[in-house]
Structure 1
Amino acid sequence: MEFVLDNGSVRIALSTAGGSFTSIAANGREYLWQGDPAVWSGQAPICFPICGGLRDGRAMTMGGREVKLARHGFARKQEWKLEEQGDNMVALSLSSADHAELLEQYPYPFKIVARYTIDAEKVAVSYEVTNEGTEDMPFFVGGHPGFKCPLDEGESYDDYELRFEQREAAELCTAVPSTGLIDVEHRSKNPMVGHDLPLTHELFDFAETIFDVLESRVVTLTKKTEDKGVRLTFPDMPYLIVWSKPEGDFVAVEPWGGLSTCSDEDDILEHKRGCLVAKPGETVTRGFEIEIL
């Protein structure tokens, strides 16, 4: 089922299949990548209850429970349901009460509400995670929106760049595609030029670009020669992933609350960078904002 919000400035479409965007449109232009299963089957998946991958797809919790999760968790593969709807807001939810089989992968009763609110040219995305069990619940949550690049006909991928609010570290951690994990001990040169990351298809020949030590909380995808694109603001997300495929006319700009298991981490879920813990009955909220320029 699909839901549409339109305030005359921005129009978004959301699907219960995965609980996320199928369209972000404004100014007569589509900003969200419209998908090509031959390149990437996603558009804007929600990463929950992990971001990235676990070593061998599993981890133990400090309470002795085993978690067995594929990359980015299961939320993006599930059918969500309508939680709440207003003139400028739609909230979709996924819970273990409706999908008891998910407890075999992640043995913590949970509910996650993805709330989407439009205001002028801005879209606020809020992930509200509730622990519905009786034990502390470790988890991660993050966004994975893929934006069209280039935005218009006649433009080139490398006409675009990502502009960071701050200057970032000179060296970045290294993705390990064979395992889906992260090497934080052998770092590589940051391809940014000043505050800007020029986009080229070659940038993604090897893997994603991972900002594991991130100063910026505002990043703008824009054409180099004009103010056209989207700005992401994510004050409570400590990590950013930038990813595409060499043949893909999109760039995913991903604010995450955690990372794939890193080379200096063990396999205890709570020991992973950025792990959040919800107490029984507690709701923990994280999110980000997309502004159309």
Structure 2
Amino acid sequence: NSVTFSIKPNAEMLDNYLYQFELRVVYTLNGKSIRTEFQVTNLEIKKTMPYFIGAHPAFNCPLVEGENYEDYYIEFSEVESCSIPKSFPETGLLDLQDRTPFLENQKILDLDYSLFSHDAITLDQLKSRSVTLRSRKSGKGLRVDFDDFPNLILWSTTNKSPFIALEPWSGLSTSLEEGNFLEDKRQVTKISPQETSRKIYDITILN
């Protein structure tokens, strides 16, 4: 009921990320839930290691034959009021100071492809640590719990591809006002030498 994938850096990776590490990704099936656990180990003897990590789980939408994308909604575990930062798809950068109102005292976000006309939606101000994708017609759905991740990215395409991505991220793309040093970026996780950091999210099938 469990499988583990692991990687250590090769020479090319070390040219871009100057730390010896091991990343283990453990998937564990428990009933109708699958847990993903990222285990990041700092193999350095003396250096503290900074890192970000995130996931890209995407789900068929619609889940049921005969339904449409617009039959689905995302429900947040808390009532949310938040804005989203401006993104620059051509560079991957964000402007965390230039923000647009997005959720206003609501728990429900109806899905529509027009939501993604500019780019993915970066939710960096959520109180919720759990979101549910559900059909208004069949009631079928799933839940993503992401207690260890402060950010949630929503993404789909504008060419009506039948999916929605609900992505827990521990950090964000570089913001325009940030410098180029990874260890100085906001939300960065730092691991002491020979220590392991763990971050977990769960996907649960409903109904």
TM-score (norm 1): 0.67
Q: SS of the counterpart of 1:227? A: coil
Distance 2:143 2:86 in 1: 26
CA–CA separation in structure 2 for the residues paired with 1:271 and 1:162: 33
Whole-Å separation in 1 of the counterparts to 2:122 and 2:145: 17
Q: Matched residues in 2 for 1:269 and 1:239: separation?
A: 18
CA deviation after TM superposition for structure 1 residue 133, in Å: 1.4
Separation (CA, whole Å) in 1 of partners of 2:81 and 2:119: 18
Aligned with 1:232 (options 129, 144, 166): 144
Deviation at 1:252, TM superposition (A): 0.6
Amino acid at match of 2:42: N
Higher strand share: 2
Cα distance, 1:205 vs structure 2: 1.1
Deviates more, 1:116-125 or 1:189-198: 189-198
Aligned residue number for residue 182 of structure 1: 94
Identical-pair percentage: 39
- Residue identity opposite 1:129 in structure 2: V
Report the AA paired with residue 201 of structure 2: F
Residue 28 of structure 2 is matched in structure 1 by: 117
Among candidates 50, 66, 69, match of residue 157 of structure 1: 69
Contact 2:120–2:155, Cα closer than 8 Å, also in 1: yes
Q: Give the aligned residue type for 2:122.
A: I
Deviation at 1:242, TM superposition (A): 0.2
Determine if contact 1:192/1:198 at 8 Å carries over to the other structure.
no
Within 5 A, what are the aligned runs for 1:244-283?
244-247=156-159, 248-283=161-196
The separation in 1 between residues aligned to 2:81 and 2:14, in whole angstroms, is 39
**Cα drift, residue 132 of structure 1:** 0.9
Distance verdict in 2 for CA 1:264–1:226, change over 3 Å? farther
Unaligned runs of 5+ in 2: none
AA in 1 matched with 2:195: E
State the distance in 2 between where 1:170 and 1:124 align: 28
**Is contact 1:144-1:253 (8 Å) kept?**
yes
TM-aligned CA distance change 1:139 to 1:170, over 3 Å: closer
Q: Distance in 1 between matches of 2:154 and 2:192?
A: 32
Counterpart of 2:50? Answer: 138
* Separation in structure 1 between the aligned mates of residue 83 and residue 127 of structure 2, nearest angstrom: 13
Counterpart residue identity of residue 28, structure 2 = T
Task: Output the CA distance in 2 between the equivalents of 1:198 and 1:259.
Answer: 24
Report deviation, 1:100: 3.0
Deviation at 1:191, TM superposition (A): 5.0
> Could you tell me how far 1:195 is from its partner in structure 2?
0.5
Residue number in structure 2 paired with 1:50: none
RMSD in angstroms over aligned alpha carbons?
1.4
1:107 is aligned to: 18
- Tell me if structure 1 keeps the 8 A contact 2:27–2:36: yes
User: C-alpha separation between the residues in 2 aligned to 1:100 and 1:177?
Assistant: 29
In structure 1, stretches of 5+ residues that fail to align are 1-87
How far is 1:178 from its partner?
A: 2.6
1:93 aligns with 2:6: yes
Q: Tell me what 1:9 maps to.
A: none
Give the superposition deviation at 1:263: 2.7
What's the TM-score, normalizing by structure 2? 0.93
Note if contact 2:83-2:125 (Cα within 8 Å) is conserved in structure 1.
Answer: no
